[in-house]
Amino acid sequence: MSRVYNFSAGPAVLPESVLQEAADEMLDYRGTGMSVMEMSHRSKAYQTNIDEAEADLRTLMGIPDNYKVLFMQGGASQQFAMIPMNLMKNKVADYIITGQWAKKAWQEAQMYGQANAVASSADKTFSYIPDCSDLPISENADYVYICENNTIYGTKYWQLPNTKGKDLVSDVSSCFLSEPVDVSKYGMIYGGVQKNIGPAGVVIGIIREDLITEDVLPGTPTMLRYKTHADNGSMYNTPPAYGIYICGKVFKWLLRNGGLTEMKAYNEKKAAILYDYLDSSKLFHGTVVKKDRSLMNVPFVTGDAELDAKFVKAATEAGFVNLKGHRTVGGMRASIYNAMPMEGVKALVGFMEKYEKQV
């Protein structure tokens, strides 16, 4: 067996101990004689599993009692429609466009109401977060929408926008559980789990209770109503049971390792190793405005597309895989999520230093 250093933006690296536990429990989950994959979601063993997952997530994030935790399917992209269908009571919402994922959510919302783009960083290839201290928030906006960590462009909101009293809805797919968060500042936090928590397909929504109502867009399918999932403990139908089980293991891994405060400290140290090198290198440089840099996704370039491609190839051969940047940014992107060990980033920087000396 040989594991690589996997810098994929998603699906992405998971803690090795979690994968090992899952492997150990594959044929016989705790004396049930079956895999979690083969188990009724109505069984006692599974109910314990999902209950513990929710309780552990609540502990990790300090989720207040007046917020529901929903485990749903369809990935983050399904939420691009569910959010307006459920939350656009006045049929107006304000979107801040900081990249492709925010843009997709905004475009989807336009099908259901008036979705306004109140700020954007498209003018500089989304390499920064716009000033959100005094935006023209609509008087009757049902919510203000952001993508908090921009996976493709490597930017992160280090300060939440001034929503002027409107509920904030945030896509945290690529920074989920990477740092402590004050849930009470949001109407809704959601994310697909395949970046930082578990297998693709599962999406977790954390929603303030008063936002979960029957007053949804007419024609909203049963499965796309938050109330359906909230009223049934995320078990209206068969949930993505195996995926939730893996998420639960990652929650326990985080709790064992000191929770989100420790995780943030680790992530800061880890990212600094790479950013400090990029800031001193003559060959490579980061593409994001310093103050808006993500701790999770680090895009960088040499400035020469051919050289970029050569570097990616050499890195792959050396066991540093999935470093090719998104086609809209070019160059490279190192995604260094929670489960990427410090040694992985140190080894990558060591490789880059050596490479720089050769060219």
Of 17, 35, 43, 77, the residue at the interface with ligand PLP (CB under 6 A) is 77
Q: How many CB atoms lie within 10 A of CB 309?
A: 15
Adjacency order of strands within the sheet including 188-192: 67-72, 203-208, 188-192, 168-171, 144-147, 92-97, 114-120
Q: HSE of 252 in the Cβ direction (CA atoms, 13 Å)? A: 16
Per-residue x/- mask for ligand PLP, residues 145 to 164, rule CB under 6 A?
A: --x---x-------------
* Residue 187: DSSP 8-state: S
To ligand PLP, the closest distance from the beta carbon of 290 in angstroms equals 21
Nearer of residues 39 and 117 to ligand PLP, judged by Cβ: 117
Binding mask 80-109 for ligand PLP (x = CB under 6 A): ---------------------x--------
Nearest to 181 by CA among 57, 287, 75: 57
Residues numbered 3 to 32 that lie near ligand PLP (CB under 6 A) are 10
The one among 195, 229, 249, 270 contacting ligand PLP by CB under 6 A? 195
Q: How far apart are CA 204 and CA 247, in angstroms?
A: 10
C-beta of 101 vs 284, nearer to ligand PLP: 101
Cα–Cα nearest to 41, from 197, 237, 251:
237
Shortest distance, position 25 Cβ to ligand PLP, whole Å: 25
Choose, from 68, 156, 195, 324, the residue flagged as catalytic: 195
Residue placing its CB nearer to ligand PLP in the complex, 101 or 112: 101
Residue 75 touches ligand PLP, criterion: CB under 6 A: yes
- The answer to whether 158 is a known catalytic residue is no
Active-site residue 195, yes or no?
Answer: yes
Distance CA 276, CA 298 (A): 12
With respect to ligand PLP, which residue has the nearer C-beta, 198 or 352?
198
Asked if residue 272 lies in contact with residue 295, where contact means CB atoms within 8 angstroms, the answer is no
How far is residue 118's CA from residue 90's CA, in Å, rounded to a whole number?
17
Q: Are the CB atoms for 137 and 164 separated by under 8 Å?
A: yes
8, 116, 174, 287: which one contacts ligand PLP (CB under 6 A)? 174
Residues of this chain that interact with ligand PLP (CB under 6 A) are 10, 75-77, 101, 147, 151, 171, 173-174, 192, 195, 200
Catalytic amino acids?
A: 101, 171, 195
